[in-house]
Structure 1
Amino acid sequence: MLEQTAPVSAPLDQRSFRDILGRFPTGVVLVTANAAHGPVGMAVNSFTSVSLEPPLVALCAGRSSTTWPGVRAAGRFAVSILGEGHAELCRLFSERGADRFSGREWAYTPAGHPVPAGVLGWLDCEISVIHPAGDHELVVASATEGALSGAAAPLVFHAGRFRGLAA
């Protein structure tokens, strides 16, 4: 028979909420687009598949992001699934004001979005709908093209750190 005990609880402030959710490991992707003023991109760990038919994905973009307005205005973007060797690139794409595209090797999707070398896979996407969600926007997008392009171990974000995961 299982013994029942009450969980220890604490008020749910922003720090506690973030710490609790940080125990949930997530994959990490780059979202890139060709904005009116050139390429833009951001690191995202709130990304998931939604539907196989039609192929839909979802991500959450922070309302305070300086990159998201360019992606949103483009209406289309690429998602690059990162491998464990992309931790530094992911950190760079998480920094405000960083020069994210210079001095790196880029491939381009059929829609013309930049994809970093060595990603595990990529998708070209078109924004279908955007829902307000607190301090973020929940974005649902149609995946229009994609490919697997690598077999390395994925990059995982857990407890505030990037980690590898055996493939």
Structure 2
Amino acid sequence: MSSVSFDNATFRRVLGHYPTGVCVVTATQDDDTPVGMVVGSFTSVSLDPPLVAFFPAKSSSSWPRLQSVGKFCVNVLASDQQPLCRQIAGPGPDKFAGISHRVSANGSPILDDVVAWIDCALDAVHEAGDHYIVLGRVVALEVERPERPLLFFQGNYGQFSLIE
């Protein structure tokens, strides 16, 4: 492996110039406890078969709980859902306190008022440096609220603005 000519701070600063959407990945554990994590690294992968991906850190305490369920739902947050995002991202035993949701046909929480949701079966997990590449096979999806999504850019939250 070749050495690099930059440090972690430079890597983060440069990649921070690329905006990402903000999603909450959810699942329901065997004891009916909802579990979730915020991700800014979500993407579509394939139409045939329908696959999506996200990239949790190996250090994540939420990812092993989600992985053990074997299915999950990606909830695309709207620009007004920053408080929800911060609650799910924060520490604590009950990240879902006061968060309204319903359960998908696949058994995962769909958060109320999200832009869209994508319900998945866990297809594959690959190691990638200090993260995992998680592939989900899409089993159902829908646009709930065609609003502007919550974005993350240069260390801050924001929203998309259309150029007319």
TM-score by length of 1: 0.89
Q: Secondary structure at the match of 1:91?
A: helix
Structure 1 residue 98, shift from structure 2 partner:
5.5
Percent identity of equivalent pairs: 38
Give the conservation status (yes or no) of the 8 Å contact 1:28–1:155: yes
| Superposition deviation, residue 110 in structure 1 | 1.3
Q: RMSD of the TM alignment (CA)?
A: 1.5
Moved over 3 A (4+): none
Count, aligned residues: 158
Could you report, residue by residue, the CA deviation over 1:81-119 in whole angstroms, capped at 9, with x for unpaired residues?
A: 111011111122222326311112112211121122110
Among candidates 14, 32, 47, match of residue 26 of structure 2: 32
In terms of Rg, which structure is larger? Answer: 1
Aligned mates of 1:40, 1:110 — CA distance in 2: 17
Query: Residue in 2 aligned with 1:21?
Result: 15
What is the SS of the residue equivalent to 1:129? strand
- 2:88 touches 2:96 (CA, 8 Å); kept in 1? no
Is the counterpart of residue 152 in structure 1 residue 155 in structure 2? no
Please list every run of 5 or more consecutive structure 1 residues that lacks an aligned counterpart in the other structure.
1-9
User: Which of 130, 135, 138 is equivalent to 1:135?
Assistant: 130
Amino acid at match of 2:60: S
Q: What's the counterpart of residue 62 of structure 1? A: 57
| Structure 2 gap segments, 5+ residues each | none
SS in 2 for 1:143: strand
